[in-house]
Amino acid sequence: MKQKSKPKAAKTRWQLLHQYYSYTGFYNFVWQAVKKALPYIIAIVIAVYTLNHFWDINNALIRLTEILPSYGVLSFFFVSETLLGLIPPEIFIAWAGKMYSPWFYLSLLALLSFGGGLVSYWMGRSITKMPAVHNYLETKMEKQLKNSKKWGGFLIVVGALLPLPFSISCIAAGIIEFPFKNVMVYGSLRLVRFAIYGLIIFNVL
């Protein structure tokens, strides 16, 4: 008699997710995107390192938070979070920790960061209205845009939670015309990140 074959173990959620990303070409898409962006990332890192060698950027930013009034710091932070978001928010969170109501100012920073990301999204949408950009996206980037729309949520989550510029993720989401309501939902994780950073930094200060 033939022995009955053992039933295959059900795949876990992570295995199914990995399988889906493999079949849809997500990993290859990310790798190709990283390869294209790598020269620009390296150039920015070199430029920042060179500038920091002659002028201590971190201390200058800390000094700026000491000189400006609270509304000035908040305004500067909002502009930073809207335009690429290259200034680490930890500097501003540390500033909030020294205020008379740390969690109030942290909440303002979180909302401004979230709001800056939403403004960046509409900046991305505006870019696609330019005829030259629109034609380029429709002709040479059609396949990449199609894939990007599948994983737009992942793009926003990464920008919201990880130490990467949230603004850039939102601009990219705007360019691929990812639904705005989804950007708001996934982007709200930005508030969670600020809460976690606050718990860590406030306990250290």
| pLDDT computed for residue 113 by the predictor | 93
Categorize the per-residue pLDDT at 132 as very low, low, confident or very high, splitting at 50, 70 and 90.
Answer: low
Q: What is the mean pLDDT of residues 8-16?
A: 65
Tens of pLDDT along 97-123? Answer: 888 888 999 999 999 999 999 999 998
SS3 of the chain: CCCCCCCCCCCCHHHHHHHHHHHHCHHHHHHHHHHHHHHHHHHHHHHHHHHHHHCCHHHHHHHHHHHCCHHHHHHHHHHHHHCCCCCCHHHHHHHHHCCCCHHHHHHHHHHHHHHHHHHHHHHHHHHCCCHHHHHHHHHCCHHHHHHHHHCHHHHHHHHHHCCCCHHHHHHHHHHCCCCHHHHHHHHCHHHHHHHHHHHHHHHHC
Q: How confident is the model at residue 33 (pLDDT cuts 50, 70, 90)?
A: low
Residue type at 103? W
The model's pTM: 0.69
pLDDT band at residue 27 under the 50/70/90 scheme? low
Q: Which range has highest mean pLDDT (77-91, 107-121, 149-163, 165-179)? A: 107-121
Q: How far apart are CA 191 and CA 194, in angstroms?
A: 5
